[in-house]
Amino acid sequence: MAARILIIDYGSQYTQLIARRVREARVYSEIHPPTRTVEWVRQWKPTGIILSGGPCSVYGENVPTAQKELLEIAPVLGVCYGMQLIAHIEGGAVERAGRREYGRAEVEVIEPAGVFAGMAGAPVAAWMSHGDHVERPPKGYVVTARSANTPVAAMRHETKPIHGVQFHPEVAHTPRGGEIISNFLFEICGAEPSWTPGAFIEDEVRKIRELVGAKRVICGLSGGVDSSVAAALVHRAIGDQLTCVFVDTGLLRLGEREQVERTFRAHLGIHLVTVDASDRFLDALKNVEDPEKKRRAIGHTFIDVFEDATSEHAHGAEFLVQGTLYPDVIESASPTGGPSVTIKTHHNVGGLKPDMKFKLIEPLRELFKDEVRNVGRELGLPEEMVGRHPFPGPGLAIRILGDVSREKLDVLRKADSIYLEEIRAAGLYDEIWQAFAVLLPVRSVGVMGDERTYDNVVALRAVTSVDGMTADWYHFPHDVMAVISNRIINEVDGVNRVVYDVSSKPPATIEWE
């Protein structure tokens, strides 16, 4: 059985990063809430267990905790709150720090072995984020690292494979954090680095074939990375039993429909049905300005169009493919079982009518976005598709602030196409997580030739990010930005001003709506 690491989520904003770091080391990991029972964990058979950080104090009321028996199932690494929890349930002393320690710290490694193997000598830079700390380790534990403000920056059990670190090895601000996690995976847990795109595809193809048998399957194809890779993976498993339905909403980018049809029909040989429903979507969006109402109108229309398409083109289909990703799964619930805050409706159009009796196939629900891209490359999808920037399910409708019309869509489509074309020409596309144009609901005065103009304003957005959870605005070379601005103003009728968005996430979101 391949190695797999169980990550218990105690509410840290960095928990997803732990999973990503483990997977980057080619070991499979899953995130689960602290409500999982000891018996459930035993049945899951983890190669190792990581207890994440979190905002709570071990002495608080109704805080997530762990049973002592958890420490006997597999090697354990406690991170921040996870280490404090180990100390607490094992009989050590956890105390409120004199002052909260947040930010970069120098950690002195006392014992360059175990998780600190290969780290003798100079202090290790680490990222701290805690109010409590372990004042005294439990009986049978030894201190393996300390900092100026934290007497127990790390500890381990004398004889059992139980380790704890007060800092966050998963974040980029702990430069040698990857080594610490790798030491836990390979030196402490004895894991094998076998989590690869090829191994994933092989395993998933087997599962899909066993599940589907000779039955038919339908996939709602958006042309984005997630649905494209999901469709290609299912096609690898069952071939002509799959029918893909691509809905042209009229809200797509320039040339997007043609690219999807070319890739899936000619390149991959997948049975693809294209439905032109642009008039239906524009009718549904008429005079709608509120962002959430736009999303709902698009979502409801998509469901109706998709239902009509499946009735016509997918007789007898029993399964529906969706490109659900792992962040979609683990972000849907908080670690303590309480309500999660909804910032806005999810970008992807989702949800089907109750009377549509499809069984779901979600072949990517275990993967992060970068892993999906690598699986797509392994499946032979072209780089222009798997390497493309994220694109929201509601399309250009949420990049037009205010009401949506065919004329506005044409303006935005042309501006956005020029923007992305120049980014690629400058060799910057792969440096940027997401770039797009936004049509603002304002007009400004300009001069073109000898004439006064009163035309539209286009805002440009480009951000750098790892996973979209946080993002910083991209610092364009001025000469590139000048070319982009000049081309949009000169080539797109109805635009006389271009502005650039220099907001980070948080406090702003990446999309404007």
Task: Tell me which of 90, 170, 366, 378 is the catalytic residue.
Answer: 170
Judge contact between 305 and 245, C-beta under 8 A.
no
Active site residue 69: no
3-state secondary structure of 9: coil
Joined together, the tokens standing for residue 463 give 């951000």
Backbone angles phi, psi at 27, to 5 degrees: -125, 135
Sign of the alpha-carbon torsion through 327, 390, 239, 374: negative
| CA-based nearest residue to 437, from 482, 394, 485 | 485
User: How far is C-alpha 496 from the geometric centre of its chain's CA atoms?
Assistant: 36
Active site residue 189: no
Burial class (CB in 10 A: 0-12, 13-18, 19+), 266: exposed
Joined together, the tokens standing for residue 297 give 């109108």
Sheet holding 359-361, edge to edge: 271-276, 242-248, 216-221, 317-321, 359-361
Active site residue 513: no
Whole-number Å distance between alpha carbons of 272 and 309: 12
CA separation, residue 279 to residues 184, 251, 276 (Å)? 56, 10, 8
Element (H, E) at 280: helix 278-285
Whole-number Å distance between alpha carbons of 177 and 183: 10
Task: Tell me which of 56, 80, 189, 219 is the catalytic residue.
Answer: 80
Task: Tell me which of 88, 133, 168, 347 is the catalytic residue.
Answer: 168
Catalytic residues: 80, 168, 170
